[in-house]
Chains A and B, each alone.
Chain A
Amino acid sequence: MSVHDITLTVNGRKVRLTVKSNELLLNVLRDRLLLTGAKYGCGIGECGACTVLHGRECVLSCFIPAVCADGWEITTAEGLSKDGKLSVVQQAYVDKAAIQCGFCTPGMVIASTALLYENPEPDEAEIKDYFRGNYCRCTGYAAMIEAVKVAAMRMKERGCDDEEL
């Protein structure tokens, strides 16, 4: 088995780590960097609980070997708020009570953020399509769809650019 020195930028902070070739990004984030936002759900890419941002794109940290993410900029749910203030998407989730048990929420919030980066004015069908890869066992999708709509509307009203997502 090989070991590798890698550098990740996680939530804006650069970290250097030595990882084994079979160590997964999710486990590095949770167990070594103590960022427990991203969750272990199914482990095989079906449920989306482990979703994180790679740059501005959502990816599944449960099946990315950490060594393959060398050099990446990663954002987890913990990195969305700035100076103690929730991001537009997070605030919309709170305001729409789009959270039930909360297990899927970090992945949902990350996926919603990726959607708005890609498409600042998604319609309902586009939102639903984006949520194809994120399961909510409480089935609280209706409120989440509303939350994404509200976040998109607030961004537009404020004339925010997507840097502020």
Chain B
Amino acid sequence: MNTMIIEQEFEYVKPGSLFEALDILAQTNNVKIYAGGTDLIVKLKTSGINMDAMMDINGIPELSELTASGGNGLVIGSAVKLSRIEKHPAVKSNYSALFEALMSMASVSVRNMGTLGGNLANASPAADTAGPVICYKGILELMSRSGIREVPAEDFFISSGVSAIRPDELLTRIKLPAVNKNTGAKFIKTGRVKSDIAKVSFTVVIEREGSKIKSCRAAAGSAAAKPVYLRTVSESLKGRIMTRELITETVDRIAGIIEPIDDQRTTAEYRKELIKVIAADAFSKAWSLSGGKLI
């Protein structure tokens, strides 16, 4: 393995419009999309991938738009750089768990190159933005010549490296709906050092009504073959009074549900222990950020 060069040969194309990009995807075999390249080029260098052509999506104006939508939602073009997203004031104030995930990722240089679209489309079980995008009820817009599909983030991930995107489809935009008031959120990841790929990560977004949980969405990263939305746990918390006991009981359930693996970063057994700690921490912090008191 020589990471000084890219050995593989390929055609390079840079469409100037969405229409042209969708045509290329429909007509070219083995074309890979290049957004920031921080996953793609590393893979090309280290493991090699089956790719005849590389399509650079940085020349498509719509994909570089980052706009506040009606009712304070946010629409993020798939080619918007991570560092631009983290600097958007609405991200820090309204989508704090996404902000925390972004700040935990890699380094400034990598975030100046990488994109949210790439982090999601790469479909790593450790993709840090996946949990927040799932918990904020993000919708992924997939476009092809045959039309547009909107896939909820929780249904987007299929297995490690595999997403709902078909080869003729382009992830165009990530839509985050407005966040209701009295909502608190937290993203926590553990790694060896701050910017490491997660040993395990946990995200929770809680909407509070008095002392009760009005709604809750929780997700775990590096805890299974894909980023997972913890649906049953999340739904069972609806209407419950938030207490320390409830948190303890909930994190034990979560540790029982996740299916982590042993890999170079840590063991499955340790991941199950670790998630209890970070999930408990995230639940209590998100609850207090929502304005709630823990009893």
Contact = CB atoms under 8 A, between A and B. Distances in A.
Partners in one complex: yes
Nearest to B112: A57
A44 B1 CA distance: 12
B194 A44 contact: no
Contacts of A27: 4-5
A54 B37 CA distance: 15
Contacts, number: 97
Interface string A126-149: 000110111000000000000000
B195 A132 contact: yes
A44 B4 CA distance: 9
Interface of B: 2-13, 34, 37-38, 41-42, 45-46, 54, 56, 58, 83, 106-110, 112-113, 193-195
A103 interface: no
Given A45-B106, A51-B109, A67-B12, 4 more contacts: A2-B10, A43-B2, A48-B107, A63-B45
Contacts of A48: 107, 109
Contacts of A51: 109
A63 B7 CA distance: 13
Interface string A82-114: 000000000000000000000000000001001
Interface residues of A, number: 35
Interface in A1-53: 1-2, 4, 20-24, 27, 40, 42-45, 48, 51
A111 B109 contact: yes
Contacts of B10: 1-2, 21-22
B107 A43 contact: no
